[in-house]
Structure 1
Amino acid sequence: MENKINYWLDMATYDLDTAKAMYNTKRYLYVGFMCHQVIEKSLKAYYWYFKQQEPPYTHNLLLLAKQCNLHLIMTKEMYKLIHYLMPLNIQARYPYDKNELMKSLTEKVCIDLLKQTEELFEWIKQLLKR
């Protein structure tokens, strides 16, 4: 089971590095997408820890958090981040209105998004050390 948890954490770390690379190259659309991936994969690591079984095949961050009862102990800011990230998974991959989405993901928004994503990721990793 530890290998499964480490797999998801390693992938989340890789995705966080990718999100930072996208930020550094001003590809802000993909910063949002990769931040979603970081949280999705860290939640799947926690799912293994909490339920000791394969996480469901879903990109729904709220569902993953609820199935592990994490939503009960998350701060309001963490919960808001999850809600903000949820549509970015689909919108970044299938941008019906790419220009509008790109306008909303400004440099400032992306730096805040990276900071909050990293904080939530670190928080989840700390829970895994208990």
Structure 2
Amino acid sequence: MDLKKQVGYWHRGSLSDIDTAGILIEKNKYPEGMFFCHLAIEKILKAVYVKTQSEFAPKSHNLFMLSEKAGIDLKDDIEYFFGILMMYQTQGRYPEPSPVVHSKTQIFQFLDKTKEVRAWLEKML
């Protein structure tokens, strides 16, 4: 697959995943919804990486590493938020109990923040 198609692939996946996150969160499936929030950010980061670096995206789920390799300078609030998302992606992949439980209000705020950060990253495409 050529690089332009790769950018489109990751971009479309990110759009689908943010929609899925919203559906899951609306149905009170908070950990699953947050996992998809992570996926939405991971995939848009990979789209930006392919666009800016002209090579296929690394096979990694680490939002910090993907941001750094794509040359994206993260503000402190986004770094903090990525830490939260990374917690949920680990919880979604491995059967370890989460040390932190977030409220319904916080989860909806995280969904909004995911949409905001995703839109910011999308402007880099």
Using structure 1 for the length normalisation, give the TM-score. 0.88
**Among the aligned pairs, what percent are the same residue?**
27
More helix by share: 1
**Aligned-partner residue type, residue 111 of structure 1:** F
In the alignment, structure 2 segments of 5+ residues that lack a partner are none
Q: How does 1:29-40 map to 2 (within 5 A)?
A: 29-40=31-42
**Aligned-partner residue type, residue 110 of structure 1:** I
SS of 2:95's partner is coil
Shift of 1:6: 1.1
1:28–1:106 contact (8 Å) kept in structure 2: no
Instruction: Measure, in 2, the Cα distance between the counterparts of 1:105 and 1:15.
Output: 21
2:108 aligned partner? 111
Using structure 2 for the length normalisation, give the TM-score. 0.91
2:4 aligned partner? 2
1:90 aligned partner? 90
SS of 2:61's partner is coil
1:16 aligned partner? 18
1:32–1:105 contact (8 Å) kept in structure 2: no
Q: Does 1:66 align with 2:68?
A: yes
Shift of 1:123: 0.5
SS of 2:123's partner is helix
Tell me how large the CA RMSD over aligned residues is: 1.4
